């Protein structure tokens, strides 16, 4: 069964969402991300995806105190990303309670550094962030395209032992128009050993069911919950009855 991973995106310590990664579209949903995380836990979710949007924009971890508060208050297994560009950022994330760290931009711009981290900490502690627009990788909060194609990018690191991949179709993100299921199926055909986490576009429970039927291992979703398109109750009931 597909793993359900709710998301909390953070700016200024608040729970927010963007559309297609555009900071001008910021909408604040809750002043207290810890309360949001508690609600996820109450409905039986075990995992949480946290994005430090301030960190992604500033190119260093910013909202680590919020990560630490959520981790200590909920015991959820957390993957954390956004602004992890240095050894210091990495240690801050792990020491603040992250079970996994999502690395995207640095894996593109500083591959030697990322390979060093994989060897030092183990590939199982990392999620490779592959943010895609028109088949090309975008970096630094989706503000830059570096021209690297998705498949060669993934191939390079899967050969180095990476198994966890978070793939976001930027054109779908925050649009509530359905996920890029065909893209994820294509990636799994290419990399059947990959633990692929789908991200972007989930608008309703039917979207999650379609991803589940397509044998996608995991899905991250956020805006559909915050906009009331999916209730945590119906998600929990569906997961329990699978």
Pair type for strands 14-19 and 3-11: antiparallel
By CB atoms closer than 10 A (0-12, 13-18, 19+), residue 59 is middle
Q: Which of 79, 89, 131, 207 is catalytic?
A: 131
Is 9 labeled as catalytic in the residue annotation?
yes
131 is a catalytic site residue: yes
Say if strands 195-199 and 164-169 run parallel, antiparallel, or are unpaired. parallel
DSSP string, 66-127: HHHHHHHHH--EEEEESS--SHHHHHHHHHTT-SEEEE-HHHHH-HHHHHHHHHHH-GGGEE
Catalytic position from the list 9, 54, 89, 169: 9
Q: What is the distance between the alpha carbons of residues 182 and 210, in angstroms, rounded to a whole number?
A: 11
Catalytic site residues? 9, 131
């Amino acid at each position: 069964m597909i793993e359900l991973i709710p998301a909390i995106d953070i700016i200024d310590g608040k729970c927010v969402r963007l559309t297609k990664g555009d900071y001008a579209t910021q909408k604040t949903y809750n002043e207290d991300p810890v309360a949001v995380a508690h609600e996820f836990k109450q409905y039986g979710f075990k995992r949480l995806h946290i994005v430090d949007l301030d960190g992604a924009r500033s190119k260093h971890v910013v909202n680590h105190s919020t990560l630490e508060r959520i981790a200590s208050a909920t015991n959820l297994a957390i993957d954390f990303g956004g602004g992890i560009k240095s050894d210091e950022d990495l240690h801050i994330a792990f020491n603040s309670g992250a079970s996994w760290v999502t690395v995207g931009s640095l894996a593109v711009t500083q591959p030697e550094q990322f390979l060093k981290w994989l060897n030092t900490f183990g590939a199982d502690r990392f999620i490779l962030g592959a943010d895609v627009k028109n088949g090309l990788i975008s970096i630094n909060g989706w503000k830059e395209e570096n021209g690297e194609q998705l498949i060669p990018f993934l191939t390079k690191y899967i050969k180095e032992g990476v198994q966890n991949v978070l793939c976001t179709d930027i054109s779908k993100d925050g649009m509530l128009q359905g996920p890029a299921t065909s893209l994820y199926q294509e990636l799994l055909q290419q990399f059947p050993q990959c633990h692929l986490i789908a991200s972007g576009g989930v608008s309703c429970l039917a979207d999650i069911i379609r991803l589940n039927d397509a044998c996608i291992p995991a899905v991250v979703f956020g805006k559909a919950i915050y906009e009331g398109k999916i209730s945590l109750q119906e998600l929990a009931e569906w997961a329990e009855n699978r």
